[in-house]
Structure 1
Amino acid sequence: MKLKSLLSLACLAATLQASAVYPIYFRDSGNIVDNKIVPENGGHMEYPIDENGQPIFDEDGAITVTTNAYADGGVWLRTQKLTSPCPMEYTILAFEYKTNRQINNLVVFQHEYNNIYIDQAHGPLLLVSDEYQTVYMPIARNAQWGSESDYAKNYFWISTNDANKSEGWALTVKNIRLLTIDEATAECKNQGAAGDVLDAFTLPNTDFSKDFDPEMDGGSDIYVRSGGNPVLQSSNLVKPLPEGCTTFCFDYKLTGNSFAPKVYLHKKPDYSEMTPVPTSEMLEGTPEDEIYEAEWKTIKFDLSKEIDQIGFGSVFGSNHFLWVQCIDLPESSMLWIKNVRWINATQSAIEDVTIEAERPADNRIFNIMGVECKAPLAPGIYIQNGKKFIVK
């Protein structure tokens, strides 16, 4: 290797050591022709561009891409080609995002190679929220991707196979970057003080039927038993749970008889390392003719003992998850669920207390997790001056 190359690598190493972040930049959706977006081309995602066909970013560096009518043919976006070598220890792809639909699947291609490696990540990855969230995706780096010889032709192609990619899916992204595991872990620890950890359910089998009920308080997922082992599965925990964030909970409405679900903690994707959690918490039923007017209830599972014993969700990239098994749910019952989350029980009692202002009302609005929200508000339950209200 020439001296110039050695010096450039040394300078790069010093810079990366100082920042511990390798920046990645949005390029396009592969659909620009003559400085204009051609909807039927490329990744079928549209975004603001200037007269030269270049993306227009917000002041904070964010850009919103929205799928069009051709999205059934596949959707994807591309990042810019690298401008310098990327050391192999940078194995965590991350970015901040907002999405109007939950996305349970992302596929990361490391280009330019002919499918040498495809990293496919499953589970609830992109969650709907008024606030920016961060997604972290560990990737198995191809040996040549980002190398001294190949970096100038290397970039990421981020796609999804999720059904929610259909026309109208809007994704806002910013601060795309590669991190080392140490840096990603440090970021997660800093984020831990911000509040609760959002989660979402997927279905590991076909014994639950899931639909979306737009009439339930602005829209909510509804589940009906359709087999012998109805199970709700949480997302895989890539980020470690913040200290004290050991209570898993969700809001619900249930028709029919009350029952006690069973909870299992999983440390292996093949379900071979499963820890049952003793619990007596009940999902309480409501008469069917009162269900739409009824208040949402919250079920909470204190998992602090089991988490401490088996190290559940304690390290970055663990991919641990849990099951809520509803074996005693009657087939005639309907179960609505929203606001799946991990909370610090000592700091997240907003739904359990009456809020009394210690100062004159200031009309600020908070969601049920205590995060201040700005208009326009997404559908959900909010608190203003100590009183709850619903946006439909």
Structure 2
Amino acid sequence: MNINLKTALLAVILLAFTYFYYLGGRTFNFLSLGSVIIFVLGCAVIFVLTTLLIGFGAYLLNSGIIYPNTGLLISLVFVVLLFVFWLVYGFVQLPRFADFSAYGIFIKQFLTSHLLYIAVCSVVIGGGVRLFLYGFQQVGVPETMQGNIKFIFYVLAALILSVLSFYWMKKIKQAPMNIEEQAYHSLPLAQQLLDTKGIHIASKPYYLPESKEVIILLEYPSSNKKVPIDQIFRIDKDGVIKDSLKISDLTTESLIFENGLLISQNSDKVYTWIFDRQTIALDKDKAAAKRKEIVPLAENAKAVELVYFKKTEKASCDAGTEEVWNGTKYYHILTKKDTLKIKVDNVYPKAPYGQCIEQAVEYYPLDDLGYGLVRIGENAYYVVAR
């Protein structure tokens, strides 16, 4: 069989293996000419590269530069491919990371994704070149084998140096952690009052002095000044949800919150449930007569201190040209009795429409009661001792 035909056959085998390894052999439904062109170009590039690699290996073997030993040839191809794949991965795909443990995870992902592919390609290329493309010329001198083995170790040394280099290149630069990380914990679920899971926005709290209750509204995400309400929670003097109301149980209309009253956006209906638990609609005059004092609780920003921000990765949200880092923030919350040491992981979770919404920490002490409220982000509340 012609040597060029053998080379092309080996290249086709590698192309087919690449397709099944990385794409699972799935069929494509090409809906546009562009996707067809990209797929064909990708196949062509892989075919050309593998053809050149096989041909170059055959040239080196037949020129006596590589010792004609199948195991040695496979080893040479393996270390070279591993080094090349790692360099491409390091420069193109390797993200920024916080520490060596995170770096180790990415190295493991690289090996899991590509090591088997590299090994099979090495066997196909090395074994195929030795068995089908070698001209069976005079066996090379032992010095050639020694030189090949030295070359393998040189490549391995370069691989190790590149691993260390990428560690210093990709490691996130940040201030040293001067706190005892083990002393900081996420607020426990046992203290969680509510969590909207990002579906709604939990409003800032309101206080009813007469009944010593706290009111929290769940609002629909909206850019309007007056935001429709979905649900209302009533928290008693012990920090327990005593009652709640879904707006859909009152009416099918949209209601907004205004000084404790629930006012329809489409009619004259007004509800006074926050003050008297009544679910019957009133007109504005009668409802206004039932109004009682309701006070927006003031956040104590001075009681919340950010002591360290451990960056772990770039945030997966759109911040324009600004560089936003995700990670863990460590806080001190100063209450009257204690200093709470808490941490908030994933401070920039993936949000709808790609915007960056920080999981900020807010503390609301209740002077008349024995507890305080911690709001994390715009969707979770926790009860803490005041």
Whose helix proportion is higher, 1 or 2? 2
TM-score by length of 1: 0.23
Structure number with greater Rg is 2
Which structure exhibits the higher relative contact order, with contacts defined as CA atoms closer than 8 Å and separated by 6 or more residues? 1
